[in-house]
Amino acid sequence: MRDIKRSSGILMHISSLPGPYGIGDFGRGAYEFVDFLVKAGQKFWQILPLGPTGFGDSPYQCFSAFAGNPYFIDLDEFIQRAYLLKEDIDGYKLGQEPDRIDYGLVYENKMKLLRRAYDKAKDSMTGELADFYEENMSWLRDFALFMAVKASFQGASWLGWEDQYREYNSRELLDYERENQDEIFFWVFTQYYFTGQWEKLKKYANERGIQIIGDLPIYVSEDSSDTWSKPDLFNIDSDLLPRAVSGYPPDNFSDGGQLWGNPIYDWNSMEDQGYQWWLERIRYSFQLFDYLRIDHFMGFENYWQVAYGSKDARDGQWVKGPGKKLFKKIKEGLGDLNIIAEDLGLITEDVKDLLEFTGFPGMKVLQFAFDPWGESEYLPHSYEKNSVVYTGTHDNPTIMDWLESASEGELNYAIEYLRLGREEGYNWGFIRGAWSSPANLAIAPMQDFLGLGGEARMNTPSSLANNWLWRLDRASLTDELAKRIGHLTRIYRR
């Protein structure tokens, strides 16, 4: 890990950007946000995973570990290229509320618009799409074929497909591939535009001094092109069903634990193959991002698994992960990388040892700090410089929401420790606490800068409803707000 100089940034996912088409995308709203970051004196923009989301809309449960989400494609480019007319877009509802995402409408209607654009563009783009397909064959063939077959089964999980299609590269599947090139290349088309538009946006940010922090989920979805095409890399039985799935044991936040449901890796098989899948995944991630946050880092040292079909995560067991062997191989193959380790949760001495071995900075969440009766490693005075402090993450309440739910003891301690005052604003006092800390990098969600409450929370772990919905009001990105953020950033030399 190359040292991060003392700096700061803002956490906001692409989906939360303002714009006219139902969900944030790589269009005008993204470029305006980069301009806002520059005005505010920031150096980092952190986002969530960019993969194509499925049931539940979670960016941590994607149809591919490599592909990008077609929802983020800017439709204005298709208007400019005459692949769509403005009237085409106006004919489809994409969302009724500008501050909330209606994923059902986006799924139904944005995908229809992308198909209309493809039908108009495909004859003139044959060579470009073929070249892109060849360049990205290692993952794109599996993804495009997977999504094409999925469409023919009305979107059902691959575990529910007919047997001849569940078996990767069966004779029937290869026949399907030959006979359905148009549907397959629709998905190639989405990845071509996703990649091109993202690269253009990232270049715009980098040229203005903004670095992008991406996010890598440790696991892949059960319903993904990865599990379908590479079952040998997962703990899957002869019927292609997972033997065990991922989760987290019961804790103060969840009586039943967290049942994530992702298939568990077959780490022995991965080791036999020289961890090539992981090398390819991380190498590709650094084509997209400047820095990479790895979610649930502790799972590489030890992970909680429960039997497939369990109703919750209570009855599971801890299992040893690959640990240092994996990261030694990554360093040998890819060199020193700008990785941030999400080391929250039950952090054992073995996990601390792995973190020290890698040299990756860990995370400190300010909301976790204010136990009035004991010492906490999340209190700013205890931070190492090689760490990243957050007021909160996408899984936490906003600061204003936290203040409503905190115990009296926690609240009073936070007020005293951070010297919170109503004139400054309690949310700004939390941000000041993060920005003034010794941590080399400080990050706060956009919601905290705006002082928003529970209505703007991004995700509540272990819940299925009302997550990933919040969108920014473009009018909130004022020069006054940028000036205030910039002033705080200068004071604390970030």
Strand, helix or coil for residue 466 = coil
Catalytic residue among 215, 226, 295, 448: 295
The CA distance from 161 to 481, in Å, is 51
Catalytic residue among 32, 88, 177, 395: 395
Phi (first) and psi of residue 309, to 5 degrees: 95, -5
Q: Which residues contact 479 (CB under 8 A, 6 or more apart)?
A: 39
Q: How many residues does the chain have?
A: 494
Sign of CA dihedral 140, 142, 148, 154: negative
Catalytic residue among 74, 77, 226, 342: 342
Of 302, 304, 296, the closest CA to residue 322 belongs to 302
The CA distance from 279 to 284, in Å, is 8
Within 13 A of 486's CA, how many CA atoms are on the CB side? Answer: 13
From residue 112, how far is each of 91, 108, 118, 449 by CA, in Å?
11, 7, 10, 36
Q: Is 261 left (phi over 0), alpha (psi -120 to 50) or beta?
A: left
The CA distance from 298 to 447, in Å, is 27
Beta pairing class for 211-216 and 44-46 = parallel
Beta pairing class for 302-307 and 244-248 = antiparallel
Say which amino acid occupies 192. Y
35 catalytic? Reply is no
342 catalytic? Reply is yes
226 catalytic? Reply is no
At which residue do the structure tokens 């005459």 appear? 82
Q: Which residues are catalytic?
A: 295, 342, 395
